[in-house]
Amino acid sequence: MKWRASLGITILLLALFMVWSILSPAEAPLSETPVESQEPQGNWEEPVVQAVAKAGPATVRIDTTREIIVDQFFFQQLQEQRGIGSGVIYRADGYILTNHHVVAEAEDIVVELADGRRFPGTVVGGDSLTDLAVVKVEVDGLPVASFADSNELRVGQVAIAIGNPLGQANTVTTGVVSAVDRDLLVDPRDNRYLEGMIQTDAAINPGNSGGPLINQSGEVIGVTTAIIEQAEGIGFAIPSTTARNIGDQIISHGRPLRLGVLGGSLTPALAKSLREQANLELAVDRGAFLTRVLPGTPAAQAGLVQGDVVTAVDGQEIAGMRELQDAVQKAGFGGSLRLTFYRGSTKDQTEVQL
């Protein structure tokens, strides 16, 4: 009897096990279990990301070394000074746009590309009046930045700065175009301005100088150059159209096309102030007022001097300095201009060979 009871229990357990096997859910094979990727998934479709991906490879770091004179108690000695700036590749055969102040008087220049390669650089030429310079490295096939027409800029559009602020390589900051056509006084003694500048609130710090300011399409709209130290969120860039023109002139002729004068636009209010406060004799209220004539320039060779007021170019009246500069650029290298000017109360003319 006992063996019959044991057999019945065994059959019952087997039956229960078979029912459980049929009704329980089957486990999925390990090979079919979906596994999520552990790699970070960035949003590559964001406009800023795409813009930086386009312009980043054409942005470079520029390391400079120069010797400066340092006072040491009762004598002077030379001391090595290192500097860091940025630049933007302008041509595939090694021409790079940067700021004049980044490479001025540098004895040694090293350009580091975005891929880490480093090359010695030489200064092709520079222009302190626009704070632009061209550096050449002996390598071909470089990635080249696209340049937009800065005349089409609108206040409020996105502005992206790429550079090496404080030595931090390939740093990107964003903001907007805060204003256009700003004139920035950089040398009060000589009344020297950087004219027609782009103002932006994209963070710009030492080391950004010479790097590109780009739009959302990854096109260069300006070359960053200056900040106002006492203010936050105010930086400036040289418009891309100006940068291209000066860059082309330096590459082709080793120098920019210049009349060789500093000054500003004379207005009735300014003329009245100069007569009353500086006791200057002015026969006109409008024109290009010359505060300095640089030696060895076309203006100096034509006999222009400080205090002259240019009122017409080739018989066409001008309202100020901007029209005079435009006429010079239009005439081009080797061109000539007939300038009408006033020296005190005396009206005169001179021929300028550019």
Tell me if 173 sits within 8 A of 202, measured CB to CB: yes
Q: How many helices (H) and strands (E) does the chain have?
A: 7, 18
Q: Which two tokens stand for residue 45?
A: 């479709």
> Which is the catalytic residue, given 86, 100, 127, 131?
131
Q: Which two tokens stand for residue 337?
A: 């201009």
Residue 31 is among the residues annotated as catalytic for this protein = no
Residue 131 is among the residues annotated as catalytic for this protein = yes
> Which is the catalytic residue, given 101, 127, 240, 308?
101
Nearest to 99 by CA among 130, 124, 121, 68: 130
Which ranges constitute the DSSP H helices of the chain?
Answer: 2-23, 47-55, 100-103, 240-253, 268-277, 298-301, 321-331
Residue 101 is among the residues annotated as catalytic for this protein = yes
> Which is the catalytic residue, given 86, 178, 209, 240?
209
Count CB atoms within 10 A of the CB of residue 80.
10
Q: Strand, helix or coil at 17?
A: helix
Q: Which two tokens stand for residue 228?
A: 């106002």
Residues facing 175 on adjacent strands: 159
Residues facing 346 on adjacent strands: 343
Return the active site residues.
101, 131, 209
